[in-house]
């Protein structure tokens, strides 16, 4: 298992507040219901924050003979590793799960949200909940 450097509470908050700002500013680009690995998810935005949008976009491109589904799976795994590193955790946090399925109230709210703006608002609530749980 790769070594994970501990992240200060301030840095954790700063990173996730930046993600919230991006999701709020670009709600049509956000979708936690799909595979994680695009800019659409929280881990994807953490990758953009850490590495820039060009590096992130390059990570999303299929390689050689690889088909689209394999490219998505590979990118998803890479981005989740980066997201965990940015949060300073070893295991996948519930914050990366599709529709926040491990938190019933948030999951229900996410899937009941009918507009990108409403889903972005649920994502912001999820980030706030995660920060509160981490006491950050």
Q: What are the pLDDT tens digits along the chain (136 aa)?
A: 456 688 899 999 999 999 999 999 999 988 787 555 455 789 889 999 999 988 887 877 766 655 666 666 777 788 888 889 999 998 878 888 887 887 889 989 988 999 999 999 999 999 999 999 999 9
The model's pTM? 0.86
Does residue 26 fall inside a structural domain? yes
Does residue 57 fall inside a structural domain? yes
Choose among 104, 83, 100: nearest CA to 92: 83
Does residue 15 fall inside a structural domain? yes
Task: Count structural domains, the chain.
Answer: 1
Domain that residue 123 falls in: 9-133
């Amino acid at each position: 298992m790769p070594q994970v450097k501990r992240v200060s509470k301030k840095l954790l908050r700063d990173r996730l507040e930046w993600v919230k700002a991006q999701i709020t500013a670009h709600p049509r680009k956000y979708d936690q219901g799909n595979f994680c690995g695009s800019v659409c998810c929280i881990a994807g935005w953490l990758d953009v924050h850490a590495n820039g949008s060009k590096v992130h976009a390059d990570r999303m491109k299929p390689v050689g003979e690889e088909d689209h589904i394999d490219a998505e799976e590979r990118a998803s795994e890479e981005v989740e590793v980066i997201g965990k590193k940015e949060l300073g955790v070893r295991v996948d946090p519930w914050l990366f799960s599709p529709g926040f399925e491990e938190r019933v109230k948030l999951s229900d709210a996410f899937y009941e949200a009918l507009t990108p703006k409403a889903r972005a608002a649920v994502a912001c609530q999820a980030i706030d909940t995660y920060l509160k749980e981490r006491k950050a």
